[in-house]
Chains A and B, each alone.
Chain A
Amino acid sequence: MLLAAEETAAAAGWFLENAWLIPVIPFVAFFIILLLGKRMPRGGSEVGIASMVAALVIAAGAAFQWIDRVDSAHGEEVAPVIKQWTWWQSGGTKFGVGEHIDGLAVMALLLVAFISTLVQIYSTEYVKGDRRYTHFFASITLFSAGMLIMVLAPNMVQLILGWEIMGLTSFLLIGHWWEERANSEAALKAFWTVRVGDVGLLVGTAMLLGIFGTLDIQGINEMAAAGEFASHKVLMWAAVALFIACIGKSGQFPLHTWLPDAMAGPTPVSSLLHSSTMVVAGVFLVARIYPVFHVGLEINAAGQTFNLIAVIGGITVIVAAALAFVQDDIKKVLAYSTVSQLGYMMMGLGVGAWTASVFHIFTHAFFKCCLFLVAGSISYTASHHSFDMKKDMGGIWKKMPISFGAWMVSTAALCGIPFFSGFFSKDEIIDSAKYADYTIFYIVGIVGAFMTTAYMTRATYLTFFGTPRGGAAHFMGVDHHDDHAQDAHGQDAHGHDDHADDHDDHGHDAHDAPEPGKPFPFAPFDSPWKITAPLLILGTLAVGSGYLNAPALGIHWFEHQTESSIGLPIAHEDEGGSEAEIHDEEAVAVQAFAAPRAGEGAEAEGGHAEVDPIYTVPEPPKFKWSSAAPGLLLVLAGFLVSLLLSLAVFGKKKNALSPFVGLTRRSKPVGAIHTFLVNKLYLDYLYEKVIFRAFAHPISKAAYWFNQSVIDGVVDGTGRSAKRTGDWVYRNIDQRVVDGAVNASGMVASESGHALQPVQSGKVNQYGALLFSAAAVGAIVLILLNV
């Protein structure tokens, strides 16, 4: 791929051409906030919000122009807008920075800019009065800049750059109140866990460079899709290495342990980084260079029943959902929920459902962010800065209508209830798994939907319904002095909960906080408007965003906008002639619905006719209510079961599931499972005590020994030997030889002088003797010479 300003199509619009400004503006704002923020009237937040709004405007403009571009291409392949400026050269390889704008990038830019703006507005109220207000806004602006740098990266180097900036700011923001040990430990844990994965990122990138000779994403995608690589095995290992990085960043099992601990950070951080934007960076990476993974791991190959990505995704879905059941902290429930949904996205990519996964990123961002912001709103207003559902929440739905409404809408989206946004995206993933013949993941998907609904119902019940407890009781005006006895029944073994579980937003300096803002007039007791306005916006989007790509309603607009980003052609059944592995069932389905689809599929066909591809992704399956039915039934079942259990356990109302109350205490195996879950599968124990202790301890001891004995020994030894050499040289050479020579020459002079001294004795007779003997000798010499 050539560098330098390369325009792939004639006259792309101004916003598309200059989309590189989108990360630059927040990046510059970061420095401004850092340097000048403290002196500004609002502590730097105005600069942050202004920069995000500016980025949002440009992103929106770019989105419009991209849509225009796709529409005007009329079904032909839409080339992305790529611009690169050379950053540095090494050997013959050039590395550049720039932009690579296509549907996926535009979606991500818009998403990040939009959510960042809302979260920053939210933060102005939420972290008001905080001791590090300015630095908070600086970090959060830098995070946005980093993610934006990553999503429009034209090559892997810039992608890694953005990735690392995000890691840094995640560390900074999680440890925002680092005065408490638990918070700084959580920040470090997040950083190090993601770092473990980043090894894979660097190794994988190096392997990509070795395989393809370039790090340009466009080049890599094209070459991988066309099969222009030497060894498939090497490509597979590169894909594995890169996926390890995604496991770390996107919190897949087994490197998910940092995400729940990351909830130690302020709620806006959790809502921005650890739910909607940063954690999807791993999914984004897979989607960005999808041909590498698709070809390398042979996704959708004939007869494949599982592959690495899908397996990890699937395990994550189930494990995280199971863990979400035993959490008392509302943010932890949402954290595990995020992990579970990320598992869905990964699973979707693993079964070839690219569009579905990417769309799920889109919708998930809105409703998850909304859920977190609602949690923050509750803690801000109702539960006195506590996030413990069992101790400080309950029965507040009447007094917090906006928060409650946003929560319910978002929960519905999360559970996949029809006509909310999550339904369209999640269901498509599950459908694709089924139609691409990955049956086991289909089962995982629908079981996951059951569990999702179940734990969210539990969380909703604990948070909003029942009798008010603790902080909520105070808020509702029904103070109880024996709060703790209230939830004795519902209290399971806390055992090994780590400290971060009990965290409040301590660093908030709440006691001398300034006046909170005004709430909306139609919700007088709810949180101030700066908190609830984003909730309203996001709640609306939690409903509405799904309609951009609703197979149930035959809308494929989103897919149309982004399909050029897949990197692989979609195997449309009706064009035929492709060697793509297409399932028979799908062929039948397509033929049955050929008529209504033909009209819409015409635009897509035209572009694929000329190329006979080797690798393709399957097209999204046609939606049928009948195929969605099992999933929906399980959702309903999950809701009912959980509702009844919650009422029985927490609400102490007698119903059909009352016999199950206290099961964990009565039954040993069930109790053991519960303890296992509460201790987060003992993974933390494994990582910290076993692996760390076993490897790092001896390694650090060995390194210390090496340092002290070997390196210091070498240094000391060198010093000592140098000293001894110096001494020896001094004694022998300097004192004896050199000084000796000097002294000797002096002595020679002086001794010769002394020796000659008697010649000048002052005695005349002697002078005479010398004179005459010299004359005699001279005469003899003369005679001898002349003889």
Chain B
Amino acid sequence: MNAVLLASDVNVAQNVGFYIIAAIMLFAAFSVVSTRNVVHAALWLVVVLGGVAAQYILAAAEFVAVSQVLVYIGAVMVLFLFGIMLTRASIGDDTDVNNKGWGIGIPVAVVFFGVLAYSVIDAFEDAVIAEPSGAQIASSTQAISDGYLGDYLVPLIALSFVLLAAAVGAIVLARKD
């Protein structure tokens, strides 16, 4: 497939949708790291994760999007909220959510973004992604399973061990003795 297409091949609707979701995501992410309320931060994170799932749909990765919603928003965020609850985070505004040296984070983040942006733009410039065909979209799940149980079988099994270890470890760590 040709990666480089004419500007007239760009799907304007997709782009616009993308931009809107991206804006929401960025605002939410920014709120995660700047709000004083821990619970609010968790909720803003949920927004971010939802936005990511939406982006996955736009990128024709439905399986991943659904997994994202199920795992991340459904399990991980619940865990986070439980953690916040169990660590007696103060309800309402918390003073001193930022540590003393938070200032250094800004330049680091900016530099990082600059480096990444530069290299991305430098690499791709005006490249346009080709529309995936309907057949590709339909067979994407099967392709994923083919991949998991074919080429990436061993990592899959290893992953299962990791999950097992994590579960056992979490129980061991968190139990009251």
Contact = CB atoms under 8 A, between A and B. Distances in A.
A780 B105 contact: no
Nearest to B116: A779
A763 B101 CA distance: 10
A781 to B, nearest CB: 10
Contacts of A772: 108, 112
A772 B99 CA distance: 17
A765 interface: yes
A783 B99 contact: no
Given A763-B99, A772-B112, A779 B104 contact: no
Interface residues of A, number: 11
Contacts of B119: 779, 783
Interface string A397-422: 00000000000000000000000000
A2 interface: no
A86 interface: no
Interface in A729-775: 763, 765-766, 769, 772-773, 775
Contacts of B166: none
Interface in B36-70: none
A776 B111 contact: yes
Interface in B75-110: 99, 101-102, 104-105, 108
B115 A779 contact: yes
B108 A769 contact: yes
Nearest to B99: A765
Contact of B112 (A765, A766, A776): A776
Contacts of A776: 108, 111-112, 115
A783 B108 contact: no
Contacts of A765: 99, 101-102
B112 A769 contact: no
A768 to B, nearest CB: 9
Contacts of B161: none
A769 B115 contact: no
A769 B101 contact: yes
Contacts of B101: 765-766, 769
Contacts of A769: 101, 104-105, 108
B118 interface: yes
Interface residues of B, number: 12
A763 B108 CA distance: 17
A773 B111 contact: yes
Contacts of A775: 112
Nearest to A769: B104
A195 B102 CA distance: 106
Contacts of B102: 765
A773 B115 contact: no
Interface in A45-89: none
Contacts of B108: 769, 772-773, 776
A779 B102 CA distance: 22
Interface in A370-398: none
Nearest to A777: B111
A785 to B, nearest CB: 13
Contacts of B105: 769
B7 to A, nearest CB: 27
Contacts of A766: 101
B104 A780 contact: no
Nearest to A765: B99
Contacts of A773: 104, 108, 111
A354 to B, nearest CB: 123
B80 to A, nearest CB: 17
Nearest to B113: A776
A783 B115 CA distance: 8
A769 B102 CA distance: 9
A562 to B, nearest CB: 124
B95 to A, nearest CB: 17
Nearest to A774: B108
A268 B96 CA distance: 126
A780 B108 CA distance: 12
Interface in B15-52: none
A783 B122 CA distance: 10
A234 B116 CA distance: 111
Nearest to A773: B108
Contacts of B118: 783
A411 B115 CA distance: 139
A493 to B, nearest CB: 123
Nearest to A761: B101
Most chain B CB within a 10 A radius of its CB, from A763, A766, A776: A776
A775 to B, nearest CB: 8
Nearest to A763: B99
Contacts of B99: 763, 765
A765 B96 CA distance: 14
B97 to A, nearest CB: 12
Nearest to B112: A776
A765 B105 CA distance: 9
A765 B99 CA distance: 8
A779 B122 CA distance: 14
A360 to B, nearest CB: 126
Interface in B108-167: 108, 111-112, 115-116, 118-119
A766 B108 CA distance: 12
Nearest to B107: A773
Nearest to B98: A765
A773 B101 CA distance: 14
B120 to A, nearest CB: 11
A757 to B, nearest CB: 16
A775 B111 CA distance: 10
Interface string A283-324: 000000000000000000000000000000000000000000
A763 B99 CA distance: 10
A783 to B, nearest CB: 6
B134 to A, nearest CB: 39
A773 B105 CA distance: 9
Contacts of B116: 779
A656 to B, nearest CB: 147
A657 B156 CA distance: 163
Nearest to A778: B115
Contacts of A763: 99
B166 to A, nearest CB: 20
A453 B39 CA distance: 155
Contacts of B104: 769, 773
A780 B112 CA distance: 9
A783 B111 CA distance: 13
Interface of A: 763, 765-766, 769, 772-773, 775-776, 779-780, 783
Q: Which 5 A-B pairs have the closest CB atoms?
A: A779-B115, A776-B111, A773-B108, A776-B112, A765-B99
23 contacts: A763-B99, A765-B99, A765-B101, A765-B102, A766-B101, A769-B101, A769-B105, A769-B108, A772-B108, A772-B112, A773-B104, A773-B111, A775-B112, A776-B111, A776-B112, A776-B115, A779-B115, A779-B116, A779-B119, A780-B115, A783-B115, A783-B118, A783-B119
Given A765-B99, A776-B112, 7 more contacts: A765-B102, A766-B101, A769-B101, A769-B105, A773-B108, A779-B119, A783-B119
